Structure 1
Amino acid sequence: MADHAELMPIATQAVSMARTIIHHRAPAAVTTKGDRDMVTDVDLAVEEAVRAFLAKETPDIRLVGEEHGDSGTSESDLWWVLDPIDGTANFARGIPLSAVSLALVDGTQAVLAAIDMPFMNTWYTARAGGGAYANGEPMHCSAVKDLSDAVISIGDFAVGDGAAPKNRVRLALLAELGANAQRIRMIGTAATDLAWVAQGRLDATINLSNKPWDTLAGVLLVREAGGLVLDHDGSQHTSDSANTIAITPALKNEIMSRVAEARRG
């Protein structure tokens, strides 16, 4: 895999631009784009600004964004993936848990990551083989070994068609982990969940879905901080995975066995 370190300043400048927009523009319009799924005018403004910036700086690399989809075709295996505001429901209500998530992806794996939490004054970066950083300082996953000591976040419930069977798995998992883990949290932003696993604030996060704009930047953070990110079957997470399960290594067997049990029903 090639070293794309020279593109890191572009990635960090892009999320810094997004942070500035978010800090200076309160949401004025909220639009429904699906069952209990929303977008604000600020999401759109951020994505449009970052798209224009990346198109200028890296014209040969296509971009996939949550709000406007794929920018076009390219012969390169490289692509940017952007969530302009991960945690829109939080942002629209003034809850300060949201993040800008940007990754450079080579094939199905992120090679650069930049995540900014604009209301927490925290930003994260990672490069494949180069470590993970919070505000420029190296970070590492936790060393928690016992489920009874673990703080675990769970991704949002499914909505839309087919949500009921998916949520039965989530409810089973909540019941099992709630009875055995130290604490369960539902934060409402996958990028933050993953960044906090990388930082050791969480010991695992279980997201029973996989939208690349939500996950790929955070997946690289976790791996570069010494953690594992797996699909539900234990395979290594990629952009094509069904689920996104990030774990500090010592908890792998306990967490994955409970995910499997919840899926069996």
Structure 2
Amino acid sequence: MARSALLNIMVNAALKAGKGLIRDFGEVENLQVSRKGPADFVSVADKRAEKVIRDELMKARPTYSFLMEEGGEITGTDGMHRWIIDPIDGTTNFLHAIPIFAVAIALERNDEIVASVIYNPVMDELYTAEKGNGAWQNNRRLRVASRKHLADALVVTGINSQGRALDALQLRQLAHITPAVAGIRRSGSISIDLAWLASGRFDGVWEAGLKPWDVAPGLLLVREAGGFVSDYAGGNDAVAKGEVVAGNEHIHAALLKSIKSVA
């Protein structure tokens, strides 16, 4: 596949951060059995990966703005472009030496996501998308799965169950949706969820309480793979609202209807 210069910059940043995370992941596996535990180490790994990404992107495009999970916002002089970065999406998985996490980067131009990269360094799965040029896993073109009925669908969500009002709502949604689908999964990384939806592994995704860096990279992947992504109201404010309902045309519509029916 042919990549633009901008997408190559993003890919190189993700791959460079990924190399460090593979090394750090091996250390986390060892720390699981230590008395100190891996929490402090993972925090350092998170910040180190974000610095690698930020430095690579800033070197290539010094006038662009940034929105980062760890480092917050940096306002550039460009006025049009903003990088949205999650250095480890799936930090809890990383913390427990579970190899389902990703480096996630999106590029926003005039408030529209135009390019994205999601990279799982342990599995060596690189997902990329550019507006109008499709979605790809390594060099394979992606399409969402074609299942039409919720009864045949494998659906993924993310529920913390920590007593917040939003968690209670999601649990009610889960109770409503579970009997209607073929299965429910919870991977622990929304970027991976959306990438696997784009690749046809999952049929539907729903989750709320998200941040822009959780939603933006995967949103473009799903849309460029022929899927639909909306907020819980069915609108186009998934990134701003931190709500995602996604799937192919049929599963998205059915999942959205189910979510709307739960108060």
Question: Normalised by the size of structure 2, how large is the TM-score?
Answer: 0.90
Matched residues in 2 for 1:238 and 1:206: separation? 11
Residue matched to 1:74: 77
Q: Give the one of 27, 42, 47 matched to 2:45.
A: 42
Judge conservation of contact 1:90–1:188 (CA < 8 Å) in 2.
yes
1:205 counterpart = 2:190: no
Judge conservation of contact 2:143–2:225 (CA < 8 Å) in 1.
yes
Residue matched to 1:22: 21
SS at 1:79 equivalent: strand
Q: CA deviation at 1:157?
A: 2.2
1:1-265 superposed matches below 5 A: 5-25=4-24, 26-27=27-28, 30-31=39-40, 40-157=43-160, 164-262=164-262, 264=263
Number of aligned pairs?
251
SS at 1:142 equivalent: coil
**Given residue 30 of structure 1, which amino acid in structure 2 is its aligned partner?**
A
Judge conservation of contact 1:63–1:81 (CA < 8 Å) in 2.
yes
Q: Structure 2 vs 1, CA of residues 158 and 236 (structure 1 numbering), >3 Å: closer, same or farther?
A: farther
Judge conservation of contact 1:206–1:244 (CA < 8 Å) in 2.
yes
Runs of 4+ in 1 over 3 A off after TM superposition: none
Q: Which moved more, 1:68-77 or 1:200-209?
A: 68-77
Question: Normalised by the size of structure 1, how large is the TM-score?
Answer: 0.90
Q: Structure 2 vs 1, CA of residues 258 and 238 (structure 1 numbering), >3 Å: closer, same or farther?
A: closer
Q: CA deviation at 1:165?
A: 1.7
Structure holding more helix per residue = 2
SS at 1:223 equivalent: helix
SS at 1:206 equivalent: strand
Write out per-residue CA displacement over residues 155-207 of structure 1, whole angstroms, 9 at most, x where no aligned residue: 23265xxx522112111111111111000011110100100110010001101
Ranges in structure 2 where 5+ consecutive residues have no aligned partner: 32-37
Q: CA deviation at 1:72?
A: 2.7
Identity of aligned residues (%): 30
**Given residue 13 of structure 1, which amino acid in structure 2 is its aligned partner?**
N
Judge conservation of contact 2:42–2:94 (CA < 8 Å) in 1.
no
Matched residues in 2 for 1:214 and 1:245: separation? 13
Matched residues in 1 for 2:127 and 2:215: separation? 14
